[in-house]
Amino acid sequence: MMNFTHMVINESLRLGSLSPAMFRKVVSDVEIKGKFESLFWYTIPAGWIVLVVPSLLHYDPQIYEQPCEFNPWRWEGKELLCGSKTFMAFGGGARLCAGAEFARLGMAIFLHHLVTTYDLSLIDKSYIIRAPLLRFSKPIRITISENPLSSSHQYANLF
Ligand code: HEM
Protein backbone atom coordinates (compact mmCIF):
# COMPACT_ATOMS: atom_id res chain seq x y z
CA MET A 1 0.00 0.00 0.00
CA MET A 2 1.24 3.53 -0.86
CA ASN A 3 4.51 2.05 -2.07
CA PHE A 4 5.62 5.12 -4.01
CA THR A 5 4.91 7.33 -0.96
CA HIS A 6 7.28 5.12 1.06
CA MET A 7 9.90 5.39 -1.70
CA VAL A 8 9.61 9.21 -1.43
CA ILE A 9 9.92 8.98 2.37
CA ASN A 10 13.04 6.80 2.18
CA GLU A 11 14.62 9.13 -0.37
CA SER A 12 13.81 12.23 1.74
CA LEU A 13 15.25 10.60 4.86
CA ARG A 14 18.33 9.44 2.94
CA LEU A 15 19.08 12.98 1.75
CA GLY A 16 17.87 14.77 4.87
CA SER A 17 19.84 12.77 7.45
CA LEU A 18 17.74 14.12 10.33
CA SER A 19 19.95 12.32 12.79
CA PRO A 20 23.44 13.36 11.63
CA ALA A 21 25.39 11.20 14.06
CA MET A 22 25.02 8.54 16.74
CA PHE A 23 27.44 7.55 19.47
CA ARG A 24 28.30 3.95 20.28
CA LYS A 25 30.59 2.48 22.90
CA VAL A 26 32.75 -0.40 21.68
CA VAL A 27 32.21 -3.31 24.08
CA SER A 28 34.86 -5.65 22.63
CA ASP A 29 37.73 -5.18 20.15
CA VAL A 30 36.48 -4.88 16.57
CA GLU A 31 38.76 -5.88 13.68
CA ILE A 32 38.20 -3.83 10.55
CA LYS A 33 39.56 -5.49 7.41
CA GLY A 34 39.56 -3.22 4.37
CA LYS A 35 40.12 -4.16 0.75
CA PHE A 36 43.91 -3.81 0.82
CA GLU A 37 46.00 -5.69 3.35
CA SER A 38 47.51 -3.85 6.33
CA LEU A 39 46.85 -0.28 5.15
CA PHE A 40 43.13 -0.48 5.89
CA TRP A 41 43.27 -3.15 8.58
CA TYR A 42 42.90 -1.85 12.07
CA THR A 43 41.38 -2.58 15.44
CA ILE A 44 38.86 -0.41 17.29
CA PRO A 45 39.66 -1.18 20.92
CA ALA A 46 37.02 -2.00 23.52
CA GLY A 47 36.00 1.06 25.51
CA TRP A 48 36.36 3.53 22.62
CA ILE A 49 33.46 5.78 21.65
CA VAL A 50 32.59 5.61 17.97
CA LEU A 51 30.65 8.26 16.08
CA VAL A 52 28.39 6.66 13.47
CA VAL A 53 27.58 9.08 10.64
CA PRO A 54 24.70 7.74 8.49
CA SER A 55 25.14 10.37 5.77
CA LEU A 56 28.50 8.78 4.84
CA LEU A 57 26.49 5.74 3.76
CA HIS A 58 23.58 7.74 2.38
CA TYR A 59 25.83 9.79 0.08
CA ASP A 60 28.19 6.94 -0.91
CA PRO A 61 28.13 6.75 -4.74
CA GLN A 62 29.05 3.05 -4.56
CA ILE A 63 25.75 2.41 -2.75
CA TYR A 64 23.52 5.14 -4.21
CA GLU A 65 24.19 6.13 -7.81
CA GLN A 66 24.28 9.94 -8.18
CA PRO A 67 23.70 10.29 -4.43
CA CYS A 68 22.92 14.04 -4.42
CA GLU A 69 19.97 13.52 -6.77
CA PHE A 70 16.46 13.21 -5.29
CA ASN A 71 15.31 10.05 -7.03
CA PRO A 72 12.59 8.04 -5.23
CA TRP A 73 12.66 5.48 -8.06
CA ARG A 74 16.02 4.19 -6.84
CA TRP A 75 14.02 2.38 -4.10
CA GLU A 76 11.81 0.56 -6.57
CA GLY A 77 11.77 -3.20 -5.92
CA LYS A 78 13.86 -2.80 -2.76
CA GLU A 79 12.61 -3.79 0.63
CA LEU A 80 11.74 -0.54 2.43
CA LEU A 81 13.15 -1.51 5.81
CA CYS A 82 13.55 1.10 8.55
CA GLY A 83 17.16 0.11 9.14
CA SER A 84 19.77 -1.82 7.16
CA LYS A 85 23.53 -1.67 6.57
CA THR A 86 22.99 0.86 3.79
CA PHE A 87 20.08 2.90 5.24
CA MET A 88 20.36 4.25 8.77
CA ALA A 89 17.98 7.21 8.94
CA PHE A 90 16.38 5.53 11.97
CA GLY A 91 19.64 4.11 13.30
CA GLY A 92 20.09 0.36 13.31
CA GLY A 93 20.49 -2.82 15.27
CA ALA A 94 19.29 -3.15 18.84
CA ARG A 95 18.79 0.62 19.26
CA LEU A 96 16.78 1.10 16.06
CA CYS A 97 14.32 3.99 16.46
CA ALA A 98 11.36 2.71 18.47
CA GLY A 99 9.04 5.13 16.67
CA ALA A 100 10.24 4.37 13.12
CA GLU A 101 7.06 2.72 11.84
CA PHE A 102 4.88 5.30 13.61
CA ALA A 103 6.92 8.15 12.08
CA ARG A 104 6.71 6.57 8.61
CA LEU A 105 2.93 6.21 8.93
CA GLY A 106 2.55 9.88 9.95
CA MET A 107 4.72 11.03 7.05
CA ALA A 108 2.80 8.84 4.59
CA ILE A 109 -0.60 10.18 5.71
CA PHE A 110 0.65 13.80 5.64
CA LEU A 111 2.27 13.46 2.19
CA HIS A 112 -0.75 11.67 0.74
CA HIS A 113 -3.13 14.45 1.81
CA LEU A 114 -0.69 17.21 0.87
CA VAL A 115 -0.25 16.08 -2.73
CA THR A 116 -3.82 14.89 -3.35
CA THR A 117 -5.54 17.95 -1.84
CA TYR A 118 -3.24 20.81 -2.83
CA ASP A 119 -1.28 22.11 -5.80
CA LEU A 120 2.15 23.46 -4.91
CA SER A 121 4.28 25.71 -7.08
CA LEU A 122 7.70 27.14 -6.44
CA ILE A 123 7.92 30.96 -6.37
CA ASP A 124 11.69 31.27 -6.42
CA LYS A 125 14.69 29.00 -6.27
CA SER A 126 16.83 28.20 -3.27
CA TYR A 127 19.96 26.07 -3.07
CA ILE A 128 20.69 23.14 -0.81
CA ILE A 129 23.45 23.55 1.76
CA ARG A 130 24.71 20.57 3.78
CA ALA A 131 26.23 21.81 7.01
CA PRO A 132 25.96 18.86 7.93
CA LEU A 133 22.15 18.95 8.17
CA LEU A 134 20.13 19.85 5.12
CA ARG A 135 19.52 23.60 4.89
CA PHE A 136 18.66 26.09 2.19
CA SER A 137 20.46 29.21 1.01
CA LYS A 138 17.27 31.21 1.58
CA PRO A 139 13.71 30.32 2.62
CA ILE A 140 11.79 28.38 0.00
CA ARG A 141 8.65 30.27 -0.97
CA ILE A 142 5.80 28.28 -2.48
CA THR A 143 2.21 28.96 -3.49
CA ILE A 144 -0.33 26.48 -2.15
CA SER A 145 -3.77 26.26 -3.67
CA GLU A 146 -6.47 23.71 -3.24
CA ASN A 147 -6.70 21.21 -6.05
CA PRO A 148 -10.28 21.54 -7.44
CA LEU A 149 -10.23 17.84 -8.38
CA SER A 150 -9.45 16.68 -4.86
CA SER A 151 -12.18 14.72 -3.09
CA SER A 152 -12.05 16.98 0.01
CA HIS A 153 -12.67 20.08 -2.19
CA GLN A 154 -15.68 18.42 -3.86
CA TYR A 155 -17.01 17.32 -0.47
CA ALA A 156 -16.69 20.88 0.91
CA ASN A 157 -18.71 22.21 -2.05
CA LEU A 158 -21.72 20.10 -1.06
CA PHE A 159 -22.38 22.46 1.87
C1 HEM B 1 11.44 10.93 11.00
C2 HEM B 1 11.32 10.75 12.31
C3 HEM B 1 12.36 10.05 13.16
C4 HEM B 1 13.69 9.84 12.91
C5 HEM B 1 14.52 10.20 11.67
C6 HEM B 1 14.22 9.13 14.07
C7 HEM B 1 15.53 8.72 14.20
C8 HEM B 1 16.02 7.99 15.27
C9 HEM B 1 17.37 7.48 15.37
C10 HEM B 1 18.47 7.68 14.34
C11 HEM B 1 17.47 6.81 16.55
C12 HEM B 1 18.69 6.03 17.06
C13 HEM B 1 19.53 6.91 17.97
C14 HEM B 1 20.77 6.12 18.40
O15 HEM B 1 20.95 4.97 18.00
O16 HEM B 1 21.58 6.69 19.15
C17 HEM B 1 16.18 6.90 17.22
C18 HEM B 1 15.89 6.33 18.44
C19 HEM B 1 14.67 6.40 19.05
N20 HEM B 1 13.53 6.98 18.55
FE21 HEM B 1 13.36 7.92 16.75
N22 HEM B 1 13.20 8.96 14.99
C23 HEM B 1 12.05 9.49 14.46
C24 HEM B 1 10.80 9.49 15.05
C25 HEM B 1 10.50 8.93 16.28
C26 HEM B 1 9.17 8.92 16.87
C27 HEM B 1 7.91 9.51 16.21
C28 HEM B 1 9.30 8.30 18.08
C29 HEM B 1 8.26 8.00 19.13
C30 HEM B 1 6.97 8.01 18.92
C31 HEM B 1 10.69 7.91 18.24
C32 HEM B 1 11.21 7.24 19.32
C33 HEM B 1 12.52 6.82 19.46
C34 HEM B 1 13.03 6.10 20.62
C35 HEM B 1 12.25 5.71 21.89
C36 HEM B 1 14.38 5.83 20.37
C37 HEM B 1 15.37 5.10 21.27
C38 HEM B 1 15.38 3.63 20.91
C39 HEM B 1 16.42 2.87 21.77
O40 HEM B 1 17.46 3.42 22.10
O41 HEM B 1 16.17 1.69 22.04
N42 HEM B 1 11.38 8.31 17.13
N43 HEM B 1 15.31 7.62 16.42
How many folded domains does the chain comprise? 1
Question: Any residues with Cβ below 6 Å from ligand 1, and which?
Answer: 18-19, 22, 89-91, 95, 97-99, 102-103
Question: Which parts are annotated binding residues?
Answer: 97
pLDDT 10s digits, 39-89: 678 899 999 999 999 999 999 999 999 999 999 999 998 887 777 889 999
- State the CATH number of the domain containing residue 35: 1.10.630.10
Q: Which amino acid residue places its CA nearest to atom 14 of ligand 1?
A: 22
Provide the residue range defining the domain that includes 99.
3-156
Q: Is the pLDDT of residue 158 over 60?
A: no
pLDDT 10s digits, 5-42: 999 999 999 998 788 899 999 999 999 887 766 667 88
Question: Which parts are annotated binding residues for heme?
Answer: 97
**Residue 145: enclosing H or E segment and its boundaries?**
strand 142-146
Instruction: Give the span between the Cα atoms of 58 and 63, in whole angstroms.
Output: 8
Contacts of 83 (CB under 8 A, 6+ apart): 90, 91, 92, 93, 96, 97, 100
